[in-house]
Amino acid sequence: MKQAELVFVPGPGIGHLVSTAEFAKRLLKRDARLAVTILVIRTPITPDVDAYVESLVTSSENRIRYIILPLDDPPSVELLKCPENYVTLLIEGQKHCVKEAIVKHVLSCSRPVVGLVLDFFCTIMIDVANQLNVPSYLFFPSTAGFLGLMICLQNHYEKFGKSFDMLDPDSDIPTYAHPVPSGVLPTVVLDKEIGFECMMKHGSRFKETKGFIINTFVELESYAVDTLASDKKNPPVYTVGPLLDLKKASASGDESIINWLDTQPDSSVVFLCFGSMGGFEPTQLVQIAIALERSGQRFLWSIRQKRAKEKIGIINGFSNLDEILPHGFLERTQGRGMICEWAPQVDVLAHQAVGGFVSHCGWNSILESLWHGVPIATWPIYAEQQINAFEMVKDLGLAVELKLDYRSGSGVLVGADEIEKALRSLMDKGNPLRKKVNEMKEKSRKVVVNGGSSFDCMGSFIEDILSHNLPLVKKQ
């Protein structure tokens, strides 16, 4: 039986790669007629990507092939003042490499290429798909709401002649049920210099693709998904999430964390973790510590140092927490609290002792928390996390509001009183939010099995991409 090939070009961030790889695995598990090649674009600022890809290459089934593209002449790190533009320029520089890799390593295998599946940072590769006469599909690793925001950037510019501004009144963005305050918009769309233009350029090309593949599910984002699907100018919408890497972590130190959790009562521990690039200054850490001590909550706290410019892409733990945290804090909280530099997030959220999650609201983290039924208190830091937090609190009612508009580098100090209030609400066993989150947990697990909405969407996507190649790819 001749197989059909899908070529994926994911964005170079770890969050983009994880969901892309999980989608590819799920496709192959679903249909033996498919084979997948993933073209990996690396950057000099994401060392975690190399390690993740290496783990995929060594453990992946043989129907996924990873081709790591050469990193030649990347943009200057001076352009990192707008990370989204930096990534865009780096990917645009890989356009020739992507086309060459497809021609040499995919088309030469004599398998029909039925689609290029492109990350939203990779819209330049729509040109490659057109040149090769291959349909392109948008893979969106974030929310359906945020996809709608990116699409409407062009309309916003045509109407107002400028980017969004922090002083703007609330905006009516079609994929959000409530008016969106400017304070929760991603920093990049508030960037008057290059950020807004960069994201508008990507969003304006989405409709050139043959389909929107989104890492979400209808039962979670029904309003946003229905809005996208009802717009006849949009291509078909395929909600295929949650796409999660749920395998157990293996980094050193896991055992002590899990062993400590094993000694704690069920649903008693609040987990504080802010992503692979999330970190705070010592003054903010002090406020968190004061709040944790006052609240009386058991806690597992992942503390990562705020990045220094000379260490782009690297976050190290502080060498001496005694010098940073309030005097005697570690002694007074011994037994009911544990601090670590890195935590195996999936394993922690899956543990029965964990009852709440103070999170930066990266989309993968949100989906993981819902999968395990752990309520979130929102503390966004960068990227689209502010608007993710807004959607979770205001549109979906699935999170406790700690902060919605916090952003890295703003100089804002979140006080201990505000943090303590959110912690108490998050861990309150009588909070009706806990029931809603547990209901969404059950839904998230049902949608990916036979008869579920995401299962059905994936089936529709497979049949759509193969429909023009049925003479070549016969169904078993």
DSSP 180: B
Q: What is the CA radius of gyration of the chain?
A: 22
pLDDT value, residue 2: 73
Tell me how crowded residue 21 is: count the other CB atoms within 10 A of its CB: 24
Contact between 204 and 154 under an 8 Å Cβ cutoff? The reply is: yes
Q: What is the pLDDT of residues 150-171, one digit of tens each?
A: 999 999 999 999 999 999 999 9
Domains of the chain, each with CATH number or no CATH: 4-241+447-469 (3.40.50.2000), 254-439 (3.40.50.2000)
- Residue 112: asked if its preceding bond is cis (omega within 30°), the reply is no
pLDDT value, residue 305: 63
Contact between 38 and 8 under an 8 Å Cβ cutoff? The reply is: yes
Contact between 352 and 266 under an 8 Å Cβ cutoff? The reply is: yes
Task: Extract long-range pairs of 202-205: CB within 8 Å, 24+ residues apart.
Answer: 202/88, 202/120, 202/121, 202/123, 202/150, 203/150, 203/151, 203/152, 203/153, 203/154, 204/153, 204/154, 205/123, 205/126
Give the number of C-alpha atoms closer than 13 A to the C-alpha of residue 88, restricted to the C-beta side: 20
Instruction: Provide the pLDDT confidence category of residue 3 given band limits of 50, 70 and 90.
Output: confident
Q: What is the pLDDT of residues 242-287, one digit of tens each?
A: 999 987 555 545 789 999 999 999 999 999 999 877 789 999 999 9
Contact between 422 and 377 under an 8 Å Cβ cutoff? The reply is: yes
Contact between 30 and 18 under an 8 Å Cβ cutoff? The reply is: no
Cα 354 to Cα 350: distance, rounded to the nearest angstrom: 8
DSSP state letters, 272-303 = EE--TT--B-HHHHHHHHHHHHHHT-EEEEE-
Tell me how crowded residue 450 is: count the other CB atoms within 10 A of its CB: 8
pTM over 0.85: yes
Q: What is the pLDDT of residues 190-225, one digit of tens each?
A: 999 899 999 999 999 999 999 999 999 999 999 999
Cα 92 to Cα 209: distance, rounded to the nearest angstrom: 18
Cα 248 to Cα 254: distance, rounded to the nearest angstrom: 10
Tokens 């609190």 belong to 393
Mean pLDDT of 289-310: 82
Q: What is the pLDDT of residues 68-86, one digit of tens each?
A: 998 888 888 777 789 999 9
Q: Do you know the residue count of the chain?
A: 476
Instruction: Provide the pLDDT confidence category of residue 323 given band limits of 50, 70 and 90.
Output: confident
Element (H, E) at 338: strand 337-340
The amino acid present at 151, given as its one-letter code, is: I
The two structure tokens encoding residue 373: 């039924």
Tell me how crowded residue 297 is: count the other CB atoms within 10 A of its CB: 21
1 vs 26, 62, 241, 470, 475, CA distance in Å?
A: 20, 16, 29, 12, 9
pLDDT value, residue 54: 73
Mean pLDDT of 109-114: 85
